[in-house]
Amino acid sequence: MKRGFAVASLAALLVLGSCRPGEKTSAPPPPRRLNLVLVTIDTPRPDRLGCYGYSSIETPNLDRLAQRGALFENAVCQAPLTAPSHASMMTGLNPTAHKVRDTGGFVLSGSHTTLAKILQQQGWDTAAFVGASVLKKRFGLDQGFAVYDDAMPKPAEDSERRAGEVVDRAVAWLGSQSGKPFFLWVHVFDPHLPYDPPSPFREKYKGRPYDGEVAYTDQPLGRLLESVAKKSPQENTLIAVLSDHGESFSGHGEYAHGVFLYDTTLRIAFLLAGPGVPPALRVKQQARTIDLLPTILELMGGKTPPEVQGASLRPAFAGKGVPTADSYAETLFSKLNMGWTELRGIRTSRWKYIRAPKPELYDLAQDPAETSNVIAQHPAEAQQLEAKLKSAIGAGADTEKVEPAAMDARTMKQLRSLGYLGGSSQGKQTLTGKGIDPKDRVEILKLLHTAMYSGLPLAQRIAALRQAVAQDPTNPTLYNNLGNLYLEAGRSGELMKL
Ligand SMILES: [Zn+2]
């Protein structure tokens, strides 16, 4: 490894051209010229993957990768929403800092340093291939990528594309690479709603379409990893696989993700393999999406920008402690889309504290399913975690204002087809932590799920939404979805009555 580093450093110095070998310099050491492949899978819960112990699924390619490197058993995201979670991976920042607060309606500012920008500036070839319109170029995650492929099959109608197609494009790009180090990001969307696995996974996982989507996704990823192996030897390639968030499946009254901050959606799969990562290692310490960037940069011998809030997980590979004990989490989805209150929290290896109109505290060690709110029994812990939360949010913790950006009609339509409203159009919102507690609205979530994903006849789905509107008349998502169902049913006259 040492010899590789010396050669790599020399090559990097030559590319940078800023100083000659042997010359004394105070500049940070250049990164080791490793190829990097980042795969993000949308929505797979870790406990639905073979390598995390789920025996009712076949995910041989991910399982093999886990054997080659480290598997983080206790990994979490900073927001259970696609765009904010990816922004945390790419910047090493919490959503309060990178400011991508929801999927749709928020654009990552060009002022942030991203992993792709850092590597591109040092001479890496960079390319990204994404599986859904929620990560379209316009949301700013394209920064630092020379190629950013967000083309959907029928751009006017389709908001997602199959993992197989995303991988085909990534493999073609790999084939065109001529020897410069590369950073390839592949995002696959299949396990996200609606669950619709292709054959033969549809039949094999009959009645379990989510598992079918996860199992299907493993197959093209195997093809991708094979292609990577042909292009770049293992000792020269870092591979990271992360989910952006989990899925609730009606746990806590939530059906998908984005409304709550329970572990059903906060916990993610996180695998890392390559030089510097011991094989078949299972890491128990908490790992966060913000830790990806500093970990990758440290493995490359590069320098992490000082503003990064994550920490390198590399010491954990040698059994040492990593400073990841407190993980910030937030979701503004309810505030921006439902007219309810936003949720924020701190998760430690033992506790989960959620700031809400009715705050919650869970003892994860005793109650990993978060079934019993013990805040009344542990006021001191709650107070301490509230103080940590305040400090994580920073100045103006109770007066922060957010305002989603306006979006074009096609983007709005695509986001809606994936269940996102894209920040709606409510203008500036103040995050006070006060208002309607989302956990008092689980009946609305149930009706909304029935209306959007049950497959029931249209009339019944409309009836479910009408009932929801009657119970929660200030919720903009309900009106938007009801309007769309009326249009679908050819009952546009009823729009006027909304
Ligand atoms: Zn997602």
Write the pLDDT tens digit of every residue in 196-235.
999 999 999 999 999 999 999 999 999 999 999 999 999 9
Write down the H helix ranges in 37-181: 60-68, 82-91, 95-98, 115-121, 163-175
Q: What is the pLDDT of residue 27?
A: 53
Look at residues 434, 490, 438, 435 and name the one whose alpha carbon lies nearest to residue 462.
Answer: 490
CA–centroid distance, 133 to ligand 1, in Å, is 11
Instruction: Give the span between the Cα atoms of 81 and 102, in whole angstroms.
Output: 7
pLDDT tens readout for residues 369-381: 999 999 999 999 9
CA–centroid distance, 23 to ligand 1, in Å, is 47
Interval 413-440 mean pLDDT: 76
Burial of residue 318, with CB atoms counted within 10 A of its CB: 0-12 exposed, 13-18 middle, 19 or more buried:
exposed
Q: Which helix (H) or strand (E) holds 331?
A: strand 327-331
The β-bridge relationship of strands 281-283 and 70-72 is parallel
Does the 32-322 domain belong in CATH 3.40.720.10? yes
CA–centroid distance, 244 to ligand 1, in Å, is 5
Q: Is the pLDDT of residue 256 over 90?
A: yes
Does the 343-398 domain belong in CATH 3.30.1120.10? yes
pTM: 0.91
CA–centroid distance, 276 to ligand 1, in Å, is 29
Q: Which two tokens stand for residue 325?
A: 């004990």
CA–centroid distance, 243 to ligand 1, in Å, is 8
CA–centroid distance, 257 to ligand 1, in Å, is 8
Beta bridge partners of 39: 186, 241
Q: What band does 17 get if pLDDT is binned at 50, 70 and 90?
A: very low
CA–centroid distance, 113 to ligand 1, in Å, is 22
Contacts for 93 with CB less than 8 Å, ≥ 6 apart: 87, 112, 290, 307, 308, 309, 310
pLDDT tens readout for residues 143-190: 999 999 999 888 777 789 999 999 999 999 999 998 899 999 999 999
CA–centroid distance, 406 to ligand 1, in Å, is 21
Look at residues 402, 403, 400, 421 and name the one whose alpha carbon lies nearest to residue 412.
Answer: 421
Task: Tell me the domain boundaries of the chain.
Answer: 32-322, 343-398, 410-428+436-497
Rounded to 10 degrees, what is the CA torsion of 464, 466, 467, 471? Answer: 140
Q: What is the pLDDT of residue 435?
A: 93
Contacts for 155 with CB less than 8 Å, ≥ 6 apart: none
Report every protein residue that has its C-beta within 5 angstroms of ion ligand 1.
Answer: 42, 82, 244
CA–centroid distance, 44 to ligand 1, in Å, is 9
Q: Do 19 and 28 contact (CB within 8 A), yes or no?
A: no
Instruction: Give the span between the Cα atoms of 149 and 142, in whole angstroms.
Output: 9
Q: Is the pLDDT of residue 12 over 50?
A: no
Of 4 and 101, which is predicted with more confidence? 101
